[in-house]
Structure 1
């Protein structure tokens, strides 16, 4: 039997009564790798937690322009990991990216900063995990895609929703087992509370976030692209800013992000998909339905803040006379599921390190990150113009004619 992941099992078994020489299963391994966190806010802390929980890497240091964020994250690290060496705080981005003791960089700064940070990070040659969305504009996303084309180290995009338990199981059932036959249509729903507060409230403004479709919905466009196994051909969207932040101002600027939408996407292989967004619902609810020529898959994840006994996840496959039906409740161990994004961030990290070690695991590539931005940008254009957007025409106008 291999040794247990001591970080994972700490909350389940007691071993404090043992001396170090009496620990075998619970002996603490020294991390093989060191990561620096670029961006020390809420998501930065989530990346720290899952790194420490996974155990093969440790956190060496952080860089952020906000003193409050730096102080808060250093305090959090001391309290959560009192036996660890204190975080190194870098005074410049360059120093954080090029520290020779560090193996990987995790970039989780505000969206609009990604392009400039990546330009510096790729000079280091280190492994890179870049939080979603990879950029706020199609042009910047294309530039990052080109920078990553011949990159020798791992360059992964933080589209971790594909690693949530309901989607992991749905991918297995639909793309590997072909449980519903050939996919014909896909529908995804997200109903949730409004965007939460951020430092300088950057996520309330399209200029800094890229807009709701790019900031938040890139996760779902990535999933639609993944299940469709094809490139998007046409996009039509309706939506608006009907409830949230209509009277919100920050330093004289008015919020301008949509809070509800319907998006229809036709793929080159003929698969039809739709996405339904509502960001003024009193819950966190996600649902996917995939219809094939031999059945249907439905799965959902639900947190409704009610004191009721119910399952937070559900998945069903109905195949009629073509096969057995299945219902299940996909989940991960509690400590993993509570570490962030229903455990998606943990497995994103686990696969990141696996890929660093040459043990290939499927994660969101820079190419896939780019196509999630393409759909988001097309949906934004469609709402503004009221037109069906041709992806090829949009790319020709915005990208291909300029390179």
Structure 2
């Protein structure tokens, strides 16, 4: 087996030291500053041509933590007040899932600006039709699908077609820790999250479409709540979110994909594993979880890997794809948040395209909702029969 550094696979971005704010610096308005919102703030601080101008966060403790990271930002008492600030050039939405759609609509109504919105776009089947209306009302919406921008996943995306000769089978596995505690425990209930397959797994459904370059036609799932949150009570209610499951997806192209999720497997060496197989061979991607969760007594955290295994001649090749320590320290997503923001800022400046569109975000949620329905009702979901698909 051949082992090498990341070489040409490494993304062509360099971290540039933080410069002072200038008139040409893009000013972000941040809506929501929980764990993910603060990860965004830390990564924006690494960009040479952007800064956090304003923050709306109703929880005082979270607001204080965010302002400590961005001391020059102005606090706002509402989304409306944030939008009224002239120094805000674009908006990042990182609020709880069930607020995303209404906040997008408020931005469209009050002051249409470019928006980077955290996944998922919406949480209820009944709201799927509201997404299309936003396209004409906002300059653009970029859905924050960080997993696309993890360096090992980006390398996988670049090589998958050639390595396989055309993907016929795709497997995505996530073995990880349970859902973390959030303000007000909003993430313990399907009515707020859209369900585990929406909240956690829309990243993977987005990757399926991106990797296979095809749209899904049928979703079948088997899942349950076996270990996590069973003894928790909130207002007398027991959390109803799934903690493990399988999802099978059939695509227009004839390719098949499977998601395997387990949220009580934090002892794993790698958190995400991607595997694509075609007539010419196989390619795999192994991604470790957040470094802060890696047990210190085990030494250094694992390094992401890409493994290419041709059929003829059989010769597996392993490449390590390390991520810069500065990026690992800035968040839990293997540097992806930085690369995502670099591209988003380029799009705000008119120097790049929107890479994760409203339609991409819509598909990811619909696939997750279909998986939730399938798992609970024990039937396959034909997407064209149950959702108004985009034309």
Give the secondary structure class of the aligned counterpart of 2:70: helix
> Taking structure 1 as reference, are residues 136 and 144 closer, same or farther at Cα in structure 2, changes over 3 Å only?
same
Q: Which stretch shows the higher mean deviation, 131-140 or 300-309?
A: 300-309
Q: By how many angstroms is 1:70 displaced?
A: 1.6
Q: By how many angstroms is 1:325 displaced?
A: 5.2
Q: By how many angstroms is 1:276 displaced?
A: 0.4
Give the secondary structure class of the aligned counterpart of 1:318: strand
Q: By how many angstroms is 1:242 displaced?
A: 0.5
**Unaligned segments of structure 1, at least 5 residues:** 8-26, 79-84
Residues 133-166 of structure 1 show CA distances to partners (whole Å, capped at 9, x for unaligned) of: 1111233243123312x25523100111110112
Q: By how many angstroms is 1:71 displaced?
A: 2.4
Q: Is the 8 A contact 2:15 2:46 kept in 1?
A: no
Alignment of 1:156-175 (within 5 A): 156-175=142-161
Give the secondary structure class of the aligned counterpart of 1:54: coil
> Which whole-Å CA distance do the structure 2 matches of 1:164 and 1:145 have between them?
28
Alignment of 1:212-231 (within 5 A): 212-231=196-215
> Which whole-Å CA distance do the structure 1 matches of 2:65 and 2:108 have between them?
28
User: Which of 342, 347, 358 in structure 1 is aligned with 2:339?
Assistant: 347
Give the secondary structure class of the aligned counterpart of 1:368: helix
Aligned to 2:274: 288
Q: By how many angstroms is 1:92 displaced?
A: 2.1
Q: By how many angstroms is 1:56 displaced?
A: 1.0
Q: By how many angstroms is 1:127 displaced?
A: 1.1
> Which whole-Å CA distance do the structure 2 matches of 1:329 and 1:62 have between them?
38
**Unaligned segments of structure 2, at least 5 residues:** 1-13
Aligned to 1:242: 226
Residues 147-206 of structure 1 show CA distances to partners (whole Å, capped at 9, x for unaligned) of: 12x25523100111110112100111024xx22211101000000110001000111110
> Taking structure 1 as reference, are residues 108 and 382 closer, same or farther at Cα in structure 2, changes over 3 Å only?
same
Q: Is the 8 A contact 2:21 2:50 kept in 1?
A: no
Aligned to 1:16: none
Is the aligned partner of 1:395 residue 2:381? no
TM-score by length of 1: 0.86
Q: By how many angstroms is 1:322 displaced?
A: 6.6
Is the aligned partner of 1:117 residue 2:108? no
> Which whole-Å CA distance do the structure 2 matches of 1:134 and 1:246 have between them?
28
Give the secondary structure class of the aligned counterpart of 1:331: coil
TM-score by length of 2: 0.88
Aligned to 1:189: 173
Residues 343-377 of structure 1 show CA distances to partners (whole Å, capped at 9, x for unaligned) of: 11111101101111222256211110110011101
Aligned to 2:306: 315
Instruction: Count how many residue pairs are aligned between Structure 1 and Structure 2.
Output: 367
Aligned to 1:6: 17
> Taking structure 1 as reference, are residues 37 and 234 closer, same or farther at Cα in structure 2, changes over 3 Å only?
same
Q: Is the 8 A contact 1:38 1:107 kept in 2?
A: yes
> Taking structure 1 as reference, are residues 229 and 242 closer, same or farther at Cα in structure 2, changes over 3 Å only?
same
Q: Is the 8 A contact 1:128 1:154 kept in 2?
A: yes
Is the aligned partner of 1:104 residue 2:96? no
Q: Which stretch shows the higher mean deviation, 342-351 or 357-366?
A: 357-366
